[in-house]
Amino acid sequence: MLRIEQGGWILVVLLLLTIYAAYVFFERYLALRKERLGGERLMREVEAALRRGQLEAALEAARAHGGAMGRFLLAGLPRVPFGVAAVDAALKAALLEEEVRLSRGLGGLSVTAQVAPLFGLLGTVTGMIRAFNVLAAQGQTTARLLAGGIGEALFTTAGGLVVGIPALFAYHYLAGRVEDILTELEQRREELLGFLAEVGHAAKTAQG
């Protein structure tokens, strides 16, 4: 086990980074776990309601579904009476909002994964400097004199890797989950716009 007294203040910083990374991971993991993918059924309900001219029924289906998909559709559906372009603009804005919402905290997790090994490297350097300073001051080489500085170097190096590697895996896992959600939202946007264009064309043809 890593010992704080052997790692100095840098190991304290690494411990704080560990707590922060763990908090961000579990908070984001639980939040993203609640997001429901697979919006095929919802899209069928929305399209069926719109085909019947029942916009409120489509909105109610989106509200009942909830989550990122529900919020996304609720941003665009009220613009249906104003045309495809209006719906498209609203959905693009909603997509950006969802990206910010879903990615909250991931930037800090990414920074932690990058900075932790650097703190470990800094500890290695300061530990070796300390060891050589002791050696220069004493004018002799003994394991006892060098142990403190070398121990600090080794413990902070290990600490940086122990924090950085899991944080990196955690970041990529969560970022992949966010990307999956955003990809589906983009797919549903294209699907809804295509449906609205088809319905609009059919209506114009019937009138003509």
Amino acid at residue number 110: S
Are 108 and 24 contacting, i.e. CB atoms less than 8 angstroms apart?
yes
- For residue 143, what pLDDT is reported? 59
Count CB neighbours of 115 within 10 A: 17
Q: Residue 101, SS3?
A: helix
Stretch 79-107: mean pLDDT, rounded?
94
When pLDDT is averaged across residues 137-141 and rounded to a whole number, the result is 59
Q: What is the four-CA torsion angle of 34, 37, 38, 40, rounded to 10 degrees?
A: 90
Output the pLDDT for position 202. Answer: 67
Question: What pLDDT, on a 0 to 100 scale, did the predictor assign at position 49?
Answer: 94
Other beta carbons within 10 Å of 143: 7
Q: Interhelix angle for 143-207 vs 4-33, to 10°?
A: 10
Which pLDDT band holds residue 135 (cuts at 50, 70, 90)?
Answer: low
pLDDT recorded at residue 9: 79
Mean pLDDT of 6-34: 88
Question: Average pLDDT for residues 15-39, to the nearest whole number?
Answer: 90
153: number of CA atoms within 13 Å, CB side? 14
| 80-91: average pLDDT | 94
Instruction: Identify the band that residue 208 occupies on the pLDDT scale cut at 50, 70 and 90.
Output: low
At 1, is the pLDDT very low, low, confident or very high (cuts 50, 70, 90)? Answer: very low
pLDDT in tens, 146-192: 665 666 677 788 889 999 999 999 999 999 999 999 999 999 999 99
Q: Residue 203: how many CB atoms within 10 A of its CB?
A: 10
* CA dist., res. 192 & res. 179, Å (int): 20
pLDDT in tens, 38-78: 788 899 999 999 999 899 999 999 999 988 999 999 999 99
Calpha distance 125→149 (Å, rounded)? 9
For helices 40-51 and 67-76, give the axis angle rounded to 10 degrees: 20
Other C-beta atoms within 10 Å of 147: how many?
13
pLDDT of residue 142: 58
Mean pLDDT of the chain: 86
